[in-house]
Structure 1
Amino acid sequence: MPVDPNASITITAFDWVPDFAKGQVRDLRVRWALEEVGQDYAVRYLPQGQQKEAAHRTLQPFGQVPTYEEDGQALFESGAIVWHISERFPGLTPKSAAGKGLSLEWLFAALNTIEPPIMDRAQATIFEAKDPWSAPRLPGIDERITERLQEASDRLGTADWFAGSFSAGDLMMVSVLRIIEGEGLVEAFPNLADYVARSAERPAFRQALNDHLAGFTGNPPPGFDAWMAELQSHQGELT
């Protein structure tokens, strides 16, 4: 569905992020969900720093994106927004009670079980790469990620989707697994690698990703180039 400035749904997104964050900012999860259920939406773009100002914190108290607004209701947290969309519109929730329960549990598993060690890895390899504790932590982080991926792989088995048909739970699981795509961790489990690839071929995902990437038309904040140069000088120590 096209991004429509007159749509009844409005989400927030950044107008600029570093290259390593493109395709990963969590507004993509919401865009994908809206595409799956066939809903137009508008986007209010925030320059870096504006998300911490009072006006945005009335919508998102932690000063992050995305947010979701419709008919006077405002939501934050990508998991809550995706689940709300799946409840509000048909297309992301299995029809049976059992299927709905499976979708919900895998949405929570993605955010509460799979994502935390993956974000620990991002913290160590990106934001804390220059700190002396990062390199020693990385093997332990990867071990925890691999354990969780093995468990998820075992449960998925030969199935296409965790809840029988593609659902909000799968959308969130794939969104989380994509964070480490190309690092050799997901690729160690062929059924998970195929699961991510299968999801990325969905027309709704392709449209959401294209619109997500097209929105990065802003400029970096002052001091970014120096920060990035320092970061890159240390990242080689973690490979």
Structure 2
Amino acid sequence: MTLTLYTLDWVPDFPRGFVRDLRIRWALEEIGRPYDTATVPSHPKTEAHLAMQPFGQVPIIKDGDLILFESGAILQHVTQGSALFPDDRRAEITQWLFAALNTLEMATMHWQVMLLAQKFPDFFGPPPAGEVIDHAFAFAKTRLDAFERRMADREWIAGEFSIADIATIDTLRNVASEDGLAEHKALTAYVDRATDRPAFKRALRDHMAHWQAADAARETETA
């Protein structure tokens, strides 16, 4: 049964390598499951999109009759019973998957949005004062420091490579893109190990090719 991954038809250049549908591509590449892609309009939101995802977000998958959103839930569904989410490690992997999404990502994203507001005020609105950004990073750093200690003597987060690593690495890639891991050698090495995996490289290649095709289609429409 073919799975369809829904993504947006367009996003600005700056977040393209970091949007969350990459996580799903990566997992599917790791387990070798074929998938198709489809798009939903970035703006305005359509009734069809909102019927699948009431908040108007992506990623979304359609797997047979099942429509599912939220990247963590999708990761669990598509890898259930595989080496990425085996039954005998399900509880521990779920714990670290939730930690990636609710503890690491929530803390670091707050800081990153402030930085993006400095770079792209027309998109994000007026940036906050520098001391506010510094305070946000200080809080994010408490999470990163704790995770640095966790990963100091580990290759992967919960035994063998799993969906918890996919979600965590995708979060840390964002932080690293803003030089937020400069003081975290273990986390930097962790990101390097994961992004050197062939499945990640294939996923990122196809993910970026999607945006190139979207740009070409937009240029054709406006020509």
TM bucket (normalised to shorter chain) is: 0.7 to 0.9
Alignment partner of 1:196 out of 178, 191, 195: 191
1:90 and 1:80 map into 2 onto residues whose CA distance is 15
2:84 matches 1:92: yes
1:48 and 1:182 map into 2 onto residues whose CA distance is 24
2:56 and 2:66 map into 1 onto residues whose CA distance is 18
Question: Structure 1, residues 184-219: CA drift from partner, whole Å, max 9, x if none?
Answer: 322311110000010001111111101110001335
2:100 matches 1:110: yes
> Unpaired segments of 5 or more residues in structure 2?
219-223
1:132 and 1:103 map into 2 onto residues whose CA distance is 37
2:13 matches 1:19: yes
* Structure 2 counterpart SS, 1:177: helix
Q: How many residues align?
A: 211
List structure 1 segments (4+ residues) > 3 angstroms apart after TM superposition.
Answer: 127-130
Which residue identity is paired with 1:110?
A
Which residue identity is paired with 1:119?
M
Contact 1:57 1:63 (C-alpha < 8 Å) held by counterparts: yes
Which residue identity is paired with 2:97?
L
2:11 matches 1:9: no
Q: Cα gap change, 1:132/1:111 in structure 2, threshold over 3 Å: closer, same or farther?
A: closer
2:135 matches 1:135: no
Matches within 5 A, 1:46-195: 46-50=40-44, 52-87=45-80, 89-94=81-86, 96=88, 99-127=89-117, 129=121, 130-131=125-126, 133-195=128-190
Contact 1:12 1:65 (C-alpha < 8 Å) held by counterparts: yes
Q: Cα gap change, 1:86/1:135 in structure 2, threshold over 3 Å: closer, same or farther?
A: same
Contact 1:14 1:45 (C-alpha < 8 Å) held by counterparts: yes
Q: Cα gap change, 1:187/1:94 in structure 2, threshold over 3 Å: closer, same or farther?
A: farther
Which residue identity is paired with 1:175?
D
Contact 2:40 2:49 (C-alpha < 8 Å) held by counterparts: no
Shift of 1:155: 1.3
Shift of 1:23: 1.0
Shift of 1:183: 2.5
Q: Cα gap change, 1:74/1:148 in structure 2, threshold over 3 Å: closer, same or farther?
A: same
Contact 2:114 2:127 (C-alpha < 8 Å) held by counterparts: no
Which residue identity is paired with 2:82?
P
Contact 1:94 1:163 (C-alpha < 8 Å) held by counterparts: no
* Structure 1 counterpart SS, 2:4: strand
Q: Report what 1:3 is aligned to.
A: none
TM-score (norm 1): 0.82
- State, as a whole percentage, how many aligned pairs show the same letter: 37
Alignment partner of 1:207 out of 180, 202, 205: 202
2:36 matches 1:42: yes
Contact 2:117 2:127 (C-alpha < 8 Å) held by counterparts: no
